[in-house]
Amino acid sequence: MIQWDSFLKTFDTGSGLWNPLVWATVIVIALLIVYIIRSFGKKEYKEGTEQTKPFLSGNPEGDKEKMHVKGSNLYWGFMESMKWGFDQLTKIHTGNVSDYILWFVVIMGILFIFIVGVF
Amino acid sequence: MIYNIPYFAVIGLIIIGLYAVLFKRNLIKMVIGITLIESGVNLFLITLGYREGSTAPIYTLSPGGIMSMPVPQALTLTSIVIGVAVLALMLSFIIHIYRHYKTLDVGKIGGDEE
Amino acid sequence: MNIMNHLPALIIAIPLLGAFLTPLISKINDRLRNIFVILIAGLTCLLVFLLANQVFTEGIQTYVFGANTKETLNAISSGTPLVRILFEVDGLSAFMAIIGCLLPLVAVIYSWAFMKDHTGLDKYYTLILLMTAGMLGMMLTGDMFNFFVFLEITSISSAALIAFYTDKGKAVAAGFKYIVISSIGALFVLLAVALFYGQYDALNIAVIANSMQYSFLDKVALVLLIAALGMKSGLVPMHMWLPDAYGRATASVTLALIPTTLASLYGVLRVSFTLYGNNLITGNPLKQIGQIEIHLNILLAIFLVSLALITIVVGVLMALKQTDLKRMIAYAAIAEIGYMLLAIGAALSVLKTEVGNMALKGGMFHIMNDALDVGLLFLVAGAIYYATKETSLNKLGGLARNMKYTTVFFLIGLLAVSGIPPMNGFASKLLIYESVYQVNPILSIVAILCSILMLAVFVKVFHSIFLGPKQSSFEKVKEAPKSMLIGMAIIAGIIIFFGLFPQVIVNNIVTPAVDALSNPGTYINAILTGGV
């Protein structure tokens, strides 16, 4: 039914080629080389001194549990600068099921004008 | 012209049913609106099978003459049964919702997430 | 009785029989019922694979209910009108049926441990088997009214399953919204079917497609069908029931709901490509503006592509804002449906060319990949809820120490959804980007930007749940139970397999579906000329 050597073919999109097995082999070899170079180590590294503590621009480090950035505080800059867009989107998403059917009737009307009315 | 009156009734029923679903805030009135739309579609199905001057499509003791089409009658029966099942499910959901939210207003059961 | 002749009927009959026997067996023993349900789901899966094998090697399979198939087809080709219900399985139906039988099997395996402490489990398993039977019926049938009946079966059982947590009010409210939306959509589908019956005196898809003259009532029926089926498959702006329904149901139910949404998308494809297939590009154009002729396929393509672009952008932007884990994954699922429709709409506008063929292959391959990826993410969300009883992103943190396997599965799902090599999401998204770029560059640019935003969404989730220091409230969190891990491992294995060998999958499974879409004549001739 399926030939066994067709498992190794390259994936041919209309305008490009992609072979995941070659990619995986190259990545594994590259990661191996990186690991070998990393395991040589540095001479200036002393464990247990000031070098290994986290550096927070001179601020004192608090309780470990409270230092974890919570889910809704990531990407704060992006959310603040696009606040107008996000507020509009949230206002549209009410929980009201009548509004859902209203959008359905609106889309049906637009499609009606498009397919039946104009053409 | 008189044979076109059921089609006008179908359009009227569907528009009234859509109005009830879209603009009423009580949950039970919304369910009644859905039932009105379903009645309109069933009426449309039945009206398609009628021929002028025809009798019921039953062979035994038939008075002769042409008969109306039996296929839309079977389709309408299936649709009525499905409508009854959906109506029973929606009403049992409303009983549970009333027990938890203590209100039947559709704007207040939307939930409190973003 | 030769089983191979009766496969389409058995695929519907066995889950129905299992669904009606489950409450009886559940009175004897609980473990026996679980094993029985897994056996029924596995048997259905085996039968679907046999049927798919038959379709991919031999061509379209038809099955007539209540009479001998060969005699009926011979009688039709010599002039007798068609009065029976037919199942007609071509490449597209077999492709969707593979998705529709695999995911409920994994959901049933997963819910052995996930739903162990709940009561009312006999009703739960009955409804999952009923939903599977309805979903497979929607995908295999060749008759419009039969499609409506299976659509209603699926929506009634899905609504009851979404409202499974009846002790809180939120899940029941989500179930109510789902049944209102489903019921109105299905009633408009019935109105379109009645319009077809009134004009052509036929309910079979092939007979209607053959005798279709593109009159005013046919245009109204096209509008009704595409709007109603599009609402049930989650196109923006009619998508708002999807986060409520997916986010408040239990995780295994959400996994079984994904193929239901994709079955409505199958309905959109069947209507646009096969039912109106002979009217897409006709001899005389609908309108002529200067040198450009406008046929029906350009109108449909403009509508579908613009809605798909809005879907991708709104889905990803709303996903950035959420703090509830399952709602966020539901918005990501909405964005992925936008990708599928973008590819299919772009293929509609350049029908029967090389670029159109590639775009269709990308869209269809993405349907299967996306069902698996988003399914794996929902299973991981369920495992986290089972272990910690928390769903909000603001309260979780540092779970990678306790739940090692779950972290690896979430990482695989994250890479697959964002389209990063070597997972299967990359292969299908590469096809979509490259072929849609040749239709219009702006579409491809928007798609790539939103794919980057999707990666941002899931990196945020991964950091805030799994990485970070150990929280004191999660000291006793243990790894998920074995049956949940087995379910997640099955899907992750399939994802990696599809990612490492994409050419085999595209040649053997996706290409018959694309051929069935591009040639509506094959579908019609299989019935009207007796299979010759």
Report the pLDDT averaged over residues C451-461. Answer: 90
Write out chain B residues lying below 8 Å of A97, CB-based. Answer: 30, 106
Q: Which residue has the higher pLDDT, C516 or A61?
A: C516
Give the least confident one: A32-36, C163-167, C303-307: C163-167
Whether chain A has a CB inside 8 Å of the CB on B104: the answer is no
Report the pLDDT averaged over residues C468-477. Answer: 79
ipTM of the complex in this document: 0.95
CA–CA gap between residue C108 and residue C22 (Å, rounded)? 13
Instruction: Determine the distance from the C-alpha atom of residue B6 to the mean position of all C-alpha atoms in its chain, rounded to a whole number.
Output: 15
Interface B-C, measured as beta-carbon pairs within 8 A, has a size of: 85
Count CB atoms within 10 A of the CB of residue A113. Answer: 11
Give yes or no for a contact between C156 and B85, defined as CB atoms under 8 angstroms apart.
Answer: yes
Radius of gyration of chain B (CA): 19
Indicate whether B111 pLDDT > 80.
Answer: no
pTM over 0.90: yes
Indicate whether C489 pLDDT > 90.
Answer: yes
Categorize the per-residue pLDDT at C313 as very low, low, confident or very high, splitting at 50, 70 and 90. Answer: very high
Q: Which residue has the higher pLDDT, C5 or C141?
A: C141
Closest-CA distance, B59 to chain C, in angstroms, reads 19
Closest CB to B93 among C163, C194, C247 = C163
The verdict on a CB contact (< 8 Å) between A115 and C219 is yes
Paired tokens of C29: 């023993």
Whether chain B has a CB inside 8 Å of the CB on C240: the answer is no
The verdict on a CB contact (< 8 Å) between B111 and C244 is yes
Closest-CA distance, B113 to chain A, in angstroms, reads 9
Indicate whether C531 pLDDT > 60.
Answer: no
pLDDT given at position A6: 65
Write out chain C residues lying below 8 Å of B99, CB-based. Answer: 169
Q: Domain residue spans in chain B?
A: 2-52+68-101
**What percentage of chain A reaches a pLDDT higher than 70?**
84
Closest-CA distance, A39 to chain C, in angstroms, reads 24
**pLDDT tens digits, one per residue of C187-229:** 999 999 999 999 998 899 998 998 888 889 999 999 999 999 9
Q: Which long-range contacts (CB under 8 A, 24 or more apart) does C437-442 make?
A: C438/A14, C438/A15, C438/C355, C439/C346, C439/C349, C439/C350, C439/C355, C439/C359, C440/C346
Neighbouring-strand partners of residue C287: C294
**pLDDT tens digits, one per residue of C323-367:** 889 999 999 999 999 999 999 999 998 888 888 899 999 999 999
Closest CB to A100 among C238, C470, C504 = C238
**pLDDT tens digits, one per residue of A45-72:** 777 666 667 777 777 777 767 777 776 7
pLDDT given at position C58: 86
The verdict on a CB contact (< 8 Å) between B93 and C183 is no
**pLDDT tens digits, one per residue of A85-112:** 888 888 888 888 899 999 999 999 999 9
Report the run of H or E that residue C247 belongs to, with start and end.
Answer: helix C241-248
Neighbouring-strand partners of residue B105: B26
Q: Domain residue spans in chain C?
A: 284-500
Categorize the per-residue pLDDT at C381 as very low, low, confident or very high, splitting at 50, 70 and 90. Answer: very high
Nearest Cα neighbor of C371 from C337, C331, C407 is C337
Report the pLDDT averaged over residues C30-38. Answer: 92
Q: Which residues contact A103 (CB under 8 A, 6 or more apart)?
A: C237, C238, C240
Give yes or no for a contact between C363 and C344, defined as CB atoms under 8 angstroms apart.
Answer: yes
Contact partners for chain A, using 3 or more CB pairs closer than 8 A, are B, C
Indicate whether A9 pLDDT > 80.
Answer: no
Categorize the per-residue pLDDT at B114 as very low, low, confident or very high, splitting at 50, 70 and 90. Answer: very low
Architecture per CATH, B2-52+68-101:
Orthogonal Bundle (1.10)
Whether chain B has a CB inside 8 Å of the CB on C197: the answer is yes
Residues in chain B: 114
Whether chain B has a CB inside 8 Å of the CB on C319: the answer is no
**pLDDT tens digits, one per residue of B44-82:** 999 998 888 888 888 888 888 888 888 999 999 999 999
